[in-house]
Structure 1
Amino acid sequence: MILRAFLFLIVVWTLPAMGPWQDCEGAKACDLDGRSYHIRVPDDWDGDTALPVLLHFHGWGRQGDLIVKHQRISGHTRRRGVLLIAPNGRGRTWDFWDQGSADVPFAAAVIEDVAKRFPIDRDQIFVSGYSYGAAMAWRFACENGDGVTGLLAVSGTLRQTERCPQAPKHIRHVHGFADTVMDFPMGAGGDVTHPVALWRKALGCAAGRRLPEWQVVSFLSFERWHWDNCEGGHTVTLDLHSGGHFIPHGWIGWQLDQLMGRVPLYP
């Protein structure tokens, strides 16, 4: 009798850590209508609290299994109570060049499928990506962004002449001047703010302002431009650095902290 009671208590105590997600968490992909995605549950989740979400699009030639173990991505989400979702692109890439991409409804369906497995916080849905994945994140935000809290794009954009019927509440983009993979989209006359010209026009932003330089790690500093005068309470933020094509240390976590009203920390 004592043994049975003890085993019952073990089962009860472990219930919060169990759920319908266990069959495809981490490196094992979750299947969805012939396609797939990966998830990473945050550390110390109680199994009940609604989770903020970061939907991250991988770079060219990659898959979501890399994202859920990437220290500059999942290393930040898992410490912040954020559920990381990493969809897999067909052929290890994304169709973002033109409107009507099948990857947009697929990614939207991924979020809804995740919502069947987890309690998610619809007021804190963030979309990010790196390189080709950043351009895909832009495409998703452009066509399905009205319910997105923040776009966090790293070293990849759409053409700034695109027309976007939807937009996230907050747009944050980071790009290096020395990027030779997804070249820095310099504007006419050396306009360094051109990488976010699309959003500034679409959201009716007035003149921006340059904020003091900031840094997460000692070896990389950012020049920050910010527009908080856009229509409907939207904001646009652009971080620039002297480096090339990479995800800056701590950048994703820093943005999540700020947009969720927390003191920014590293990592």
Structure 2
Amino acid sequence: MKIGFLVILGILLSEFSKAQLKTEAEYISVDGMERYYELYVPSNYSQIETLPIVFVLHGGGGKASGMTRFTRGRFNELADRDGFIVVYPNGYEKSWNDGERDTLAAARRLNIDDVGFFESMIDDLDTKFSIDRKNIFACGISNGGFMVQRLAIERSGLFKAVGVVAANMSEDQQKSEPVNPVSAIFICGTADPLVPYNGGPVKVLQQVRGEVLSMEETLAYWKRVNFCTTKMEVVVYPDINKRDRSNVVKTVWQNPSNEQIKVVDIRVENGGHTWPGGTQYLPRGMVGTTNRDFNACDEIWTFFKSLI
């Protein structure tokens, strides 16, 4: 009887914990179009203290509501622990207008002003909460990873740093440079079957969705525009989970004149088009393996936090 009670109590506490991590939808108008984002405000929020903002972008075919599940609610847990606001924006018809790369995505075909969408969200948040506009960050996977790079290039005065998962730099993005330095962390798998690690055409269900630079070229671009010429460290992660058949190496470069400006590469050897520590959302044969040696949410937030 006692064991049964403890099991039921554990389930109830688990459900209560999940309920505490739920997001709320916020609606705004952008260019006469209703857009929305899912919002998570930490449980200890107070107007007295300004809080950083972390945008978390879904990939192509995804939605804002799915990113909490996709990341297993980890950003929300970190927000409660360390005090920041999490924003899950919703792309237009499950896509982002990340530039000229993907002409098949609805947001690109209709030239949706997604950069303006982020500016509007920040202004909307500023009217509702006490936010720290000097510490606004964005991260995303795949199409969302391309989008945050566009934001870093075109709105470097708004975003302090970006996190990119499963997305190199698209060829068109290298034509422009950010006015201000924007630190960046990349988490990409060498065996990504959709976005080729060594560059070339992005292929989704046999359709070509634009061209990307290699990961080496991508890192070279961001190191150059951020003047990150000093290699600070190389860390080989312990292979905690042998079953994921992948290994991890992190390399950090720094601007010698400003230690707050960094470029980080977390190379997932044999990793796929996935979010390390997240859900294996599709079979390995389609998207590759999900690394379990670390959690991308923790790495991205630790990186952002180090810049505050």
| Alignment-mate amino acid for residue 223 of structure 1 | V
- More moved, 194-203 vs 121-130: 194-203
| Alignment-mate amino acid for residue 83 of structure 1 | I
Match of 1:173?
186
Match of residue 205, structure 1, among 216, 222, 228? 228
Correspondences of 1:131-142 after superposition (within 5 Å): 131-142=142-153
Correspondences of 1:78-227 after superposition (within 5 Å): 78-98=80-100, 102-159=113-170, 161-185=174-198, 193-206=216-229, 208=231, 211-214=234-237, 218=241, 221-227=247-253
Match of 2:302?
257
| Alignment-mate amino acid for residue 54 of structure 1 | V
| Alignment-mate amino acid for residue 267 of structure 2 | L
Match of 2:268?
241
Match of 1:22?
none
Match of 2:62?
62
The change in CA–CA distance for 1:226 and 1:76 in structure 2 (over 3 A counts) is same
- More moved, 34-43 vs 135-144: 34-43
**Partner Cα separation in structure 1 for residue 43 and residue 240 of structure 2:** 24
Q: What is the identity percentage for the equivalent residue pairs of Structure 1 and Structure 2?
A: 22
Match of 1:13?
none
| Alignment-mate amino acid for residue 42 of structure 1 | P
The change in CA–CA distance for 1:145 and 1:80 in structure 2 (over 3 A counts) is same
Gaps of 5+ in 1: 1-24, 263-267
- More moved, 230-239 vs 207-216: 207-216
Q: How big is the shift at 1:150?
A: 1.6
Query: Per-residue CA shift, 1:131-166, capped at 9, x if unaligned?
Result: 110100111111002332221111113325332233
Match of 2:41?
41
| Alignment-mate amino acid for residue 66 of structure 2 | L
Q: How big is the shift at 1:80?
A: 2.7
Given that 1:64 and 1:87 are in contact with CA atoms closer than 8 Å, whether structure 2 keeps it comes out as yes
Q: How big is the shift at 1:197?
A: 2.0
- More moved, 119-128 vs 156-165: 156-165
Given that 1:40 and 1:78 are in contact with CA atoms closer than 8 Å, whether structure 2 keeps it comes out as no
Q: How big is the shift at 1:247?
A: 1.0
Q: How big is the shift at 1:258?
A: 4.1
More strand per residue: 1 or 2? Answer: 2
**Backbone CA RMSD of aligned residues:** 2.9
Match of 1:9?
none
**Partner Cα separation in structure 1 for residue 303 and residue 166 of structure 2:** 20
Q: How many residues align?
A: 235
User: What TM-score, normalized by structure 1, do the two folds share?
Assistant: 0.76
The change in CA–CA distance for 1:205 and 1:108 in structure 2 (over 3 A counts) is same
